[in-house]
Amino acid sequence: MEPLDCSASMVIFNNPPEMIRNAALGLLNTDRSVQLVVFDNSPNPDLQSVLEPFRVKYHFNGGNVGFGKGHNWAMRNSAESRYHLIVNPDIIIPPDTIHHLIAFMDHHPDIGMVCPKVLNTDGSIQHLNKRYPTVFDLFLRRFLPKPLHGLFKDRLARYETRDIGYETVHDVEFMPGAFMFCRTDVLKAVHGFDERYFLYFEDCDLGKKIQNHGFRTVYYPEVHVTHFWERASHKNLKMTYVLVVNMFRYFNKWGWSWL
């Protein structure tokens, strides 16, 4: 059999049913052959009924093993494909998005992963592209009080690549894990996500592995998706702890960059 144009994996955990339904509908409402595998980290399988109307492969895990491990399972259990999409359940995908991303990647065999423009629900841009993180950058973003952000405005803007902008195609060091469109053979060659990260930094880690494997990671703003973004680590002390633990794992693996 010929490989599918695109396989996709989505990891869910107690997400609103309507959110999951809309994400699946947007992904599968395309003229390209796409298979979606959903890995459910929720404590019970109630969300399976939401996906029954769709051509979806569903796996209930019975416990939360994290983002990267869930996606890796889904990738291993996907049909053969040329491209694989890692997508969050809080993403809405316009019908022509997958088609255009496939065409772009087909014309650029040196690219291993691409991300489109990511918008808020009001149409404004989410500045999710990043440079490689330093401890100082992460401290400014997470722990510096908001009234003091103006003192480091240029530094924060540079970390979010606002100096490059979000209107042109360009290489990006650190791309958001909410939507990562990858060349499947490259994703397999780097063994997917490092499962030591429960949540946070696994996306930056994956990008570095793909780059070290000799492929580019590129921002492509000619298409867009909408992201219902919730910054969990800013609202929940437990998730802040998870972020800090995985920050240590990231820097211990790749080397500490302080400033």
> Nearest CA to 87 among 75, 76, 96, 95?
75
| Mean pLDDT, rounded, of the chain | 95
Q: For position 129, what pLDDT does the model report?
A: 98
Structure tokens at 206: 């994956």
Instruction: Confirm whether 257 is domain-assigned.
Output: no
Instruction: Confirm whether 155 is domain-assigned.
Output: no
Please classify residue 256 by burial: count the beta carbons closer than 10 Å to its beta carbon, then call 0-12 exposed, 13-18 middle and 19+ buried. exposed
pLDDT band at 182 (very low <50, low <70, confident <90, very high): very high
Give the integer Cα–Cα distance in Å for 229 and 151: 26
Instruction: Confirm whether 139 is domain-assigned.
Output: no
Report H helices in 197-236: 202-212
Instruction: Give the CATH number of the domain where residue 10 resides.
Output: 3.90.550.10
Instruction: Confirm whether 95 is domain-assigned.
Output: yes
> Nearest CA to 41 among 16, 18, 15, 62?
62
Structure tokens at 43: 């404590």
Instruction: Confirm whether 158 is domain-assigned.
Output: no
> Nearest CA to 75 among 213, 172, 219, 206?
206
Instruction: Confirm whether 222 is domain-assigned.
Output: yes
Give the pLDDT confidence of 47-81 residue by residue, as tens digits: 999 999 998 999 999 999 999 999 999 999 999 99
**3-state SS track over 178-206:** CEEEEEHHHHHHCCCCCCCCCCCCHHHHH
Taking each continuous run of H as one helix and of E as one strand, the counts in the chain are 9, 9
The strand pair at 81-87 and 91-92 is best described as unpaired
Give the integer Cα–Cα distance in Å for 78 and 98: 17
Instruction: Confirm whether 143 is domain-assigned.
Output: no
202-212 and 237-254 helices cross at what angle (nearest 10)? 20
Structurally, the chain folds into a number of domains equal to 1
What is the mean pLDDT of the segment spanning 144-161?
95
Give the pLDDT confidence of 7-53 residue by residue, as tens digits: 999 999 999 999 999 999 999 988 788 999 999 999 999 999 999 99
Domain that holds residue 9: 4-130+165-230
Q: For position 235, what pLDDT does the model report?
A: 58
Instruction: Confirm whether 92 is domain-assigned.
Output: yes
Give the integer Cα–Cα distance in Å for 254 and 40: 30
Put residue 249 in one of left, alpha, beta given phi > 0 → left and psi -120 to 50 → alpha.
alpha
